[in-house]
Structure 1
Amino acid sequence: MLFAPETWPFTVASFLLLLFALVECLAMVIGASLSQSLQQLFPDPGEGIAGPFDKLLDWLSVGRVPFVVLVVLFLASFALTGFALNLIVRQFFGVWAPTWIAVMVALIVTLPLVRLCGAGLARVIPQDQTYAVSFESLVGRVATVVTGTARPGYPAQAKVANEHGQMLYVMVEPEAQGMTFQSGEQVLLTRQLAGNRFAGELNPWPDLL
């Protein structure tokens, strides 16, 4: 079924799902974020939603849920619905469903499903992330390493509060050669390297926090 000519849209969706997962993992390794990069292409929730396309994005919770999460939900739902439909048609009629009919049915099922899951995730995901605050404004703030060990050229994930008290997640690495940051250590962000990747040094004033 995976390579049947009639099911190619769902096979493509499955491979795109794997590709998105791979690219996001690679982006995290180099200290970037595919989700945040794509998020900047779309309007913030409640910001000038007027056109039909903007209303559709708002209906799908774009801006309230990380965009890559919604893409994954869409691709997974579309592929699973298409394959399930073809299995049912094959079981009862002995042939695969016509491609255009299967795609239309899959879209009709997928969009409300993504809307439902997105609305649920928007209520569950802590609203402590913002895409409106520049990463550059975090320079000079103190971050706490949450996972991994950071070495020069090999950043670890850390969390840092912005000027509004909202928590953001960034990637940090030592400014000086031979230094490491362990999980739980506080790091003063000294400069932005690229995107959400920063160089830093151990917080020289821990008693002030």
Structure 2
Amino acid sequence: MFALFLTPAYLPFAVAFFVMVGIGLIEAIGLGLGHLDLDADVGVDGHDGVLDWLGLSGELPMLIWLTSLLGCFTLIGVGLQQGVSAFFGTPLAWPLASAAALIGGGLLNSIVAPGLARIMPGYESTVISTDDLLRRRGTILEGAARRGAPARAKVVDQHGQAHIIMVEPHEDSVVIGAGQRVLLVRREGQRFFALSEEDPLLRSI
């Protein structure tokens, strides 16, 4: 069977199979590459029916969906070539077999993918936007933050994850020393501007 996989008629399915196994190994050793957030890319108005058909509208991670599609493509393709060989004595040419297997595999995956999404543990992303750090408190780690001379600060997001950022005082004349707590009030690029907790504006907050 392995030798049969290396023949031109079966080669697309052999490639799909080995890619599927490779992705499975990556997931198995815990790299978590399948946990890709698709919300920003696939939530296009008027395309929900297509996404449902593809099995992409649920909570299934992208690479798990791709693994499922590759498995369905391989299964349909090998089954098709075996069936055609049994009836006609020779398999289909690989371009024709690949096209038919892609259609059949896509149909099968539209059933398999939602099933996988229901049985897999839910995945909750902790990826945040840089702007989500605004209006959060942090601590200057070292040195002194001055206008034009930012200092490193540590801020913890809503998921409990620590971020190291560069901070300058919001006011031109203020200097914020190491160890002081600050409130992030605005951002320019990767640089944040903050009010010290000693600032009179924050004493009542």
TM-score range, shorter chain: 0.5 to 0.7
Correspondence list, 1:51-200, <5 A: 56-62=50-56, 63-127=58-122, 129-131=123-125, 133-134=127-128, 191=162
Q: CA 1:51/1:10 → structure 2, altered by over 3 Å: closer, same or farther?
A: farther
SS at match of 2:9: helix
Gaps of 5+ in 2: 133-156, 165-205
Q: CA 1:163/1:131 → structure 2, altered by over 3 Å: closer, same or farther?
A: same
Q: Is 1:12 aligned with 2:15?
A: yes
Q: Which amino acid aligns with 1:43?
A: D
C-alpha contact 2:55 2:111 (8 A) present in aligned 1: no
- Matched residue, 1:145: none
Q: For 1:72 and 1:44, how far apart are their aligned partners in 2?
A: 21
Q: CA 1:130/1:104 → structure 2, altered by over 3 Å: closer, same or farther?
A: same
Q: CA 1:130/1:60 → structure 2, altered by over 3 Å: closer, same or farther?
A: farther
C-alpha contact 1:64 1:122 (8 A) present in aligned 2: yes
The Cα shift of 1:130 comes to: 2.6
Q: CA 1:14/1:125 → structure 2, altered by over 3 Å: closer, same or farther?
A: closer
- Matched residue, 2:143: none
Correspondence list, 1:6-45, <5 A: 6-26=9-29, 28=30, 32-36=31-35, 39-40=36-37, 42-43=38-39
TM-score norm. by structure 2 comes to 0.53
The Cα shift of 1:96 comes to: 1.5
Q: Which amino acid aligns with 1:79?
A: T
C-alpha contact 1:78 1:107 (8 A) present in aligned 2: yes
C-alpha contact 1:82 1:106 (8 A) present in aligned 2: yes
Q: CA 1:25/1:7 → structure 2, altered by over 3 Å: closer, same or farther?
A: same
Q: For 1:21 and 1:123, how far apart are their aligned partners in 2?
A: 19
The Cα shift of 1:92 comes to: 1.6
The Cα shift of 1:118 comes to: 1.7
Gaps of 5+ in 1: 138-161, 165-188, 194-209
Q: Which amino acid aligns with 2:114?
A: A
The Cα shift of 1:34 comes to: 0.5
SS at match of 1:100: helix
TM-score norm. by structure 1 comes to 0.52
- Higher RCO by CA contacts (8 Å cutoff, separation 6 or greater): 1
For 1:60-80, what per-residue CA distance to the aligned partner results, in whole angstroms no more than 9, with x for missing partners?
232521222211111111111
Q: For 1:190 and 1:96, how far apart are their aligned partners in 2?
A: 55
Q: Which amino acid aligns with 2:74?
A: A
C-alpha contact 2:76 2:101 (8 A) present in aligned 1: yes
Q: Who wins on radius of gyration, i.e. which is larger?
A: 2
Q: CA 1:82/1:48 → structure 2, altered by over 3 Å: closer, same or farther?
A: closer
Identical positions, percent = 29
SS at match of 1:6: coil
Cα RMSD of the aligned pairs, angstroms, is: 3.4
